[in-house]
Chain A
Amino acid sequence: MNPRSHIRLVVLHVMVFVLLLVLGGRLWTLQVLDGAYYKQFAEHNRIRDIVVPAVRGQILDDKGRPLVRNRTALVVSVDRTTLSRQPDGGRAVMRRLAVTLGIPYAELSARIRICGAGIKRPCWTGSRYQPIPVDDRADPKQALQIMERQEDFPGVTAQVQAVREYPRPQGAQAAQVLGYLQPITQDELNRRKDFKVTGFSGADLIGREGLEAEYDNYLRGVPGIRQVNVDSKGRVTGIASEQAAVPGANLVTSIDAGVQATVESSIKEAIDTAHRNGKHADAAAGVVMDVNTGRVVALASYPTYDPNIWTGGISQNEYDALLGKGSGEPLISRATQGQFAPGSTFKISSLAAAVGDGYNLHGTYECPGSFMVGSRAFRNFEGESPGNLNLHQAIVVSCDTIFYRFAYEEWLRDGNIHPVKDPKDPMVKMARNYGFGRRTGIDLPSEVAGRIPDRSWKLAYWNATRTSNCKHGKTGYPNEPADRNAYLTAIAAENCVDGYVWRAGDAANFAVGQGDVLVTPLQLARAYAAVANGGKLVVPRIARAIVRPDGTVVRRFDPLPPTELHVPQNVLDYLRSALAGVPVEGTARGAFADFDLKKVPVGGKTGTAEVYGKDDTSWFASFAPADKPRLVTVVMVSQGGQGAMAAAPAVDRIWQAIFGMHGQQPLLPGGVLPNGLPTFNPDRMVTTP
């Protein structure tokens, strides 16, 4: 071998040695120095978390009858991410799916659009990364086709899931109380880290209204996590660890399905009656509540809707029908979200205020047909003038002019239109005392506060509307009919100048629950409960307990401490006795003609509130038994006419059903509510698929 070859071989030796050394060094850094880093990577590579949805808890009535439960459904869902990876964006898959499910292709593809500006329902309101349910009533044959031919249906799954069902025990619907579920939005997911997307389309729902929203945290349960080993193609090769899902707890409510159903049908009947009387009755509400604890036995609102429409996607037509004005807005619970002038039912407050301001409880007052408040005559209903009355009679026959006088005289003492410093305003203060103008604190979302129009409210309102009023005061309302135009223009012109002034008319209207006074039926029920129970302003409550499916009580909701109603006991006694006279010999005598008041004495008050341009709001607020009150019942019928005509008969029917009249089985014998919690059979729970 020549020397040059020899040298080159030596060089080759060195090169090979160096290269192998490089490999060894690289292996050392990769495996020994950085090994932990890559181990972490490897973990991610092969363990995947699968979130196992928890079954949502049921909502039960007082006796354990489910108002909401779950049924298993075969839900077909579409995963947009997988679809978008198809060469044609998944159109072919959707066409095949449309044929299989028998749903028009256009409709099916509309359902998986993401809702947004300019996209009308059907569309998906949830996160775009969740599978979107397109059909929750698939039959097993369709589901089998989809699961067996996954190569034809990439991204499409059919799973057995639990969906909400409304069994309507005794016919009770309570749609607005129960609320509804909607898909979690991407926004909510981003905000609330504790929400885990289950990947089960139907399970990633959140309570949006009613009890479903209020007690969402208890009802939803905790999803489980199953960690599975997966290979590079995402196929599951085994289970690494499993943390079982904790099913949501059941909510036991104070609603009695029987009473609830009765209230629902009674207010519906009141609406029908009002229609027959030529009134435009458009909404109604009914409340039944324990006077001592605030336990809500029934809470109904009309118009109502079938909550089943929320399950499995809602069409634009259905959604419009729910939210639209034309449909009467059935999502709104009139009992807690409806605000109406209370009319004469408000006199329990005004009477207490007058007595507190020095008027003799046992005095006699003239009840003329009309009373001059300043330059304007304020009339009794239909101008009746029953002569001299004591306050008991004033309540029984519902004399307004006595209260106009009280209010007017108090207003004069407060300084007329140039009020003294710190005016007494006894009527306003008493109304606040009764809890009007603020939320009752019931365990339902979106409760409204009503309105107690006082001097500061008038000033604020005047500031807010002055520009518009002054404009209309000059130009009028050319689009309105002539008489209405004249009236409105005059008011606008007046309000433009001194709309902030607390005028005599404001004070007089206030005394009889008219003018700008607005209350919710629930607020009124609570006020009457306070009269009935001797002066405690309770906090209404629907939840009684949270109970796990196995029967363990997680939380018991005891009545919240009531606030004191600052009205002397003798005044309350007097009021109760006066109210007890109303069905016997007063304005509600006709409505209670068929009621055995000797067996169960009832106290109550009619209310007929005028609403400009509309039919009167019909009210009846009552409690029973009048001698030892247990329950309060309030019914309101918007545009129902006189209190005695629409609302009082409805309350009569409700009391008859509760106490059992004319041989019917009483729903709550003696008006007594069950004390213990229901025990229910765990077998009736729907288990996870």
Chain B
Amino acid sequence: MINSYGVRPSLIGRVLARGSVVRRLDWVIIACVVALGVISSLLIFSATRAQLIEQHQDPAAFLKKNLLNLAIGLVLGGLVTALDYRLLRAHAPILYALSCLGLIAVLSPLGATVNGAHAWILLGAGFQVEPSEFAKVALVVLLAMIVGEPRDGESRTGNSGPGLPDILLSLGLGGLPMALIMLEPDLGVTLTFGAIILGVLAVSGVRRLWLFGLTISAVLAAAAVVLLGVLKPYQIARFSAFLNPAADPRGAGYNAQQALIAIGSGGFFGTGLFHGEQTTGHFVPEQQTDFIFTVAGEELGFIGSAVIVLLLGILIWRGLRIATQAADLFGTLVATGVVVWLAFQTFENVGMTVGIMPITGLPLPLVSYGGSATFANMLGLGLLQAVHIRSRPG
């Protein structure tokens, strides 16, 4: 790429050169992330503004923190993108170990309880960290490492997927953080972990029999959890409220009912940003985090809600495309893990606000307020980009 005058191409020229890292980034994903970031910031501002004014605080406090979270998240994502993901594979056990330590720390006196889940570590100065979010990233990489390549001395021929030892190892290593998170307790994240394990194993090519077996045992495990009383009463109440939200509109069904009212009352065009009466009156609890979608539903209407779902859909679609085009099975599985993670949370979060899924404490990827979740999402997207820029061309 030397021009006719023999001068070395400029930095910009090199960055934008054909085949350069920048040109090979998935810009559709970046565009979606930016769009979602803007929407997220507006919705968080709208959801928190009135309450902050009432408390004589900076009305933009949450907005500013969210912008900061997004910025840090972008940097983290960029770093992961720049990294050769195959390097990550080598360090996957360390990441995993750190995550598990974090999850154990949460259960120790270091942890703090927010909204019934003992899921946080307070870092002081108002910062807190939710290790389970980062554990998702570690889990994805670790699973991909275990089942994404033949073990030493193992030969995979033809259609044979990972062998029994790999599967058992995956289940065991995946099960440990799941158990820890169940102790917090955080049902939503546990389910996300389950979905990721199932998704990665499925795409890794395990035999159909295994797949059915895993799916059925997952269902049975869920049933057992409910029947054996492992769930806290409020979690069961949430589930029963899902089945009949009007039964106890002031109690467990309250969130579900108020979410439906907020979204439903938005109509086709919405009440307009900052003009949602339900939002201003804080009728929906946890509105800037798990129930951020209700703000979109009320103020932006069907149009705005559909755009958010569409943007997330495009992200997931691009992620699947990256998984398909990855240079190796490891890359495919990393991308798959991230996609399943994002897809599960999107469906569960939006689903619970529109009353077709039970209520669990899961944020809406890239839209809900929350540092750890934003960072983890950006790391996950960074992994996608990393796989993408090293994938087979075309």
Which residue numbers of A lie inside 8 Å of B, CB to CB? 1-6, 8-9, 12-13, 16, 19-20, 22-24, 26-28, 30-32, 34-39, 41-42, 45-46, 229-233, 237
Provide the residues of chain A in CB contact with B329, threshold 8 Å.
1-2, 5
**Interface readout for B248-284 with A: 1 if CB under 8 Å, 0 if not?**
0000000000101111111110000000011011110
Say yes or no: A32 contacts B277, CB within 8 Å.
no
Closest chain-A Cβ to B266's Cβ sits at a distance in Å of: 6
Q: Given A27-B306, A39-B267, are A45 and B324 also a contact pair (CB < 8 Å)?
A: no
A-B residue pairs in contact (CB < 8 Å), sample of 15: A2-B329, A4-B205, A5-B161, A8-B205, A12-B320, A12-B336, A16-B313, A16-B339, A23-B309, A31-B266, A39-B265, A41-B264, A45-B261, A45-B281, A237-B281
Instruction: Provide the residues of chain A in CB contact with B347, threshold 8 Å.
Output: 19-20, 23
Complex partner residue of A237 from B205, B263, B280, CB under 8 angstroms: B280
Cβ-defined contact, A31 with B204, below 8 A: no
Cross-chain contact A34 with B204 (CB below 8 angstroms): no
Q: How far is the CB of B202 from chain A (nearest CB, A)?
A: 5
Tell me, in angstroms, the Cα distance from A19 to B309 when the chains sit together.
11
Q: What chain A residues lie within 8 Å of B326 (beta carbons)? A: 1
Chain B's closest residue to A37 (CB) is: B264
A12 near B339 with CB under 8 A, answer yes
Question: Are A9 and B283 also in contact (CB < 8 A) when A31-B301, A37-B264 are?
Answer: no
Best-buried of A12, A35, A37, A39 by chain B (most CB within 10 Å): A12
B351 within 8 A of partner (CB): yes
B residues less than 8 Å from A16 (CB atoms): 313, 316-317, 320, 339, 343
- Interchain CB contact under 8 A, A28 and B302: yes
User: Whole-angstrom distance between the alpha carbons of A23 and B242 in the complex?
Assistant: 16
A204–B306 CA distance with the chains assembled, in angstroms: 51
Name A229's contact: one of B260, B281, B305 (CB within 8 Å): B281
Given A8-B205, A16-B317, A31-B301, does the pair A231, B265 have CB atoms closer than 8 Å?
no
Residue pair B266, A35 in contact (C-beta under 8 Å): yes
Show the binding face of B for A, using Cβ within 8 Å: 156, 158-159, 161, 199, 202-205, 258, 260-268, 277-278, 280-283, 297, 301-302, 305-306, 309, 312-313, 316-317, 320, 323-324, 326, 329, 332, 336, 339-340, 343, 346-347, 350-351, 354-356
Tell whether, in the assembled complex, residue B354 and residue A45 are in contact, meaning their CB atoms are under 8 Å apart. Answer: no
Instruction: Please tell me if the beta carbons of A231 and B281 are within 8 angstroms of each other in the complex.
Output: yes
| Docked-complex contact B161 and A38, CB < 8 angstroms | no
A672 to B: closest C-beta gap in Å = 66
A12 to B324, CA, bound (A): 11
In the complex, which residue of chain A has the Cβ closest to the Cβ of B316? A16
Residues of B within 8 Å of A30, CB to CB, are 260, 263-264, 297, 354-355
**Smallest CB separation, A3 vs chain B (Å):** 7
B268/A38 in contact, CB under 8 A: no
> Separation in Å of the B12 CB from the closest CB of chain A?
36
Q: Determine if A2 and B159 form an interchain contact, defined as CB atoms under 8 angstroms apart.
A: yes
In angstroms, Cα B354 to Cα A23, docked, is: 8
A231 to B55, CA, bound (A): 14
A46 to B202, CA, bound (A): 48
Q: Which residue of A13, A22, A42 contacts B320 across the interface (Cβ within 8 Å)?
A: A13
Please count the residue pairs between chain A and chain B whose beta carbons lie under 8 angstroms apart in the complex.
Answer: 141
Known interface pairs A32-B267, A35-B265. Does A3 touch B159 (Cβ–Cβ under 8 Å)? yes
For the complex of A and B, 9 pairs with smallest distance between CB atoms: A38-B264, A231-B281, A42-B265, A35-B267, A4-B205, A31-B302, A232-B283, A38-B265, A20-B313
On whether the beta carbons of A24 and B264 are closer than 8 Å, the reply is no
Contact of A4 among B161, B199, B317, B324 (CB under 8 A): B161
Closest chain-B Cβ to A24's Cβ sits at a distance in Å of: 6
Chain A: interface secondary structure?
helix
B156, B203, B262, B306, most chain A CB atoms within 10 A: B203
CA distance in complex: A28, B323 (Å): 31
CA distance A115 to B313 in the complex (A): 64
Contact A41 B354 (CB under 8 A): no
Chain B residues with Cβ below 8 Å from A37 are 264
Output the nearest chain B residue to A36 by Cβ-Cβ distance: B267
Please give the distance in Å from A34's CB to the nearest CB on chain B.
6
Known contacts A27-B309, A28-B302, A42-B277: A1-B332 contact under CB 8 Å:
yes
- Out of A32, A36, A231, name the residue touching B283 (CB < 8 Å): A231
Residues of B within 8 Å of A45, CB to CB, are 258, 261, 277-278, 281, 283
| Cα–Cα distance between A27 and B202 once the two chains are bound (Å) | 30
Residues of B within 8 A of A42 (CB): 261-262, 264-265, 277-278
Distance to closest chain B CB from A18 (angstroms): 10
Q: Answer whether A5 and B309 are a contact pair too, CB < 8 Å, given A27-B354, A31-B302, A229-B277.
A: no
With A38-B265, A41-B264 known to touch, is A12 a contact of B199 (CB < 8 Å)? yes
Q: How far is the CA of A281 from the CA of B274 in the complex (A)?
A: 79
Interchain nearest-CB distance for A325 vs B (Å)? 52
Residues of A within 8 A of B267 (CB): 31-32, 35-36, 39
* A34 to chain B: closest residue by CB: B264
Closest to B326 in A: A1
The distance in angstroms between the C-alpha atoms of A241 and B356, with both chains bound, is 37
The one of A8, A13, A26, A229 in contact with B356, judged by C-beta atoms closer than 8 angstroms, is: A26
Judge whether A46 and B277 touch: CB under 8 Å. Answer: yes
Give bound CA distance, A32 to B270, whole Å.
10
Contacts A35-B264, A38-B260, A41-B261 hold; do A19 and B205 have CB atoms under 8 A apart? Answer: no
Q: Nearest chain-B residue to A6 (Cβ)?
A: B324
Closest to A2 in B: B205
Given contacts A35-B268, A41-B265, A229-B281, contact A26 B320 (CB under 8 A): no
Select from chain A the residue with minimum beta-carbon distance to B264: A38
* Other A-B pairs, 14, CB within 8 Å; known A13-B320, A20-B316, A46-B283: A2-B161, A2-B205, A5-B205, A5-B332, A16-B339, A20-B313, A23-B351, A31-B302, A36-B267, A38-B261, A38-B263, A38-B264, A39-B265, A231-B280
What is the minimal beta-carbon distance from A76 to any residue of chain B, in angstroms? 29
Closest to A20 in B: B313
Known: A31-B297, A31-B302, A45-B281. A9 touches B261 (CB 8 A): no
Known: A4-B161, A19-B347, A231-B282. A24 touches B265 (CB 8 A): no
Q: How far is the CA of A42 from the CA of B265 in the complex (A)?
A: 6
Residues of A within 8 A of B158 (CB): 2
In the complex, residue of chain A having the shortest beta-carbon distance to the beta carbon of B159: A4
- A1 contacts across to B, CB distance below 8 A: 324, 326, 329, 332
Name the residue of chain A whose CB is nearest to the CB of B332: A1
A37 smallest CB distance to B (angstroms): 7
Interface pair B203/A9, CB less than 8 Å apart: yes
> How many Å from the CB of A641 to the closest CB on chain B?
72
A24 touches B277 (CB 8 A): no
CA A349 to CA B260, docked complex, whole Å: 81
**A27 is contacted by which of B199, B305, B324 (Cβ under 8 Å)?**
B305
- Closest-CB distance, B212 to chain A (whole angstroms): 13
Complex interface: chain A residues within 8 A of B343 (CB): 16, 19
Q: Which residues of chain B have C-beta atoms less than 8 A from A6's C-beta?
A: 324
Bound-state CA distance A41–B264 (Å) is 9
* Shortest CB distance A81–B (Å): 14
The reply to whether B203 and A31 form a contact with Cβ atoms under 8 Å apart is: no
CB-CB under 8 A for A9 and B161, given A31-B264, A39-B267, A230-B281: no
Q: Which chain A residues lie closer than 8 Å to B306 at the CB level?
A: 24, 27
The distance in angstroms between the C-alpha atoms of A9 and B321, with both chains bound, is 9
Chain A residues closer than 8 Å to B258, beta-carbon distance: 45, 232
For the complex, what is the distance from the CA of A325 to the CA of B60, rounded to whole Å?
Answer: 74
A400 nearest CB across to chain B (Å)? 80
Alpha-carbon separation in the docked complex, A22 to B281 (Å):
30
Interface centre among A32, A36, A45, by most B CB within 10 Å?
A45
The CA-CA distance from A230 to B278 in the complex, in Å, is: 10
Closest to B344 in A: A19
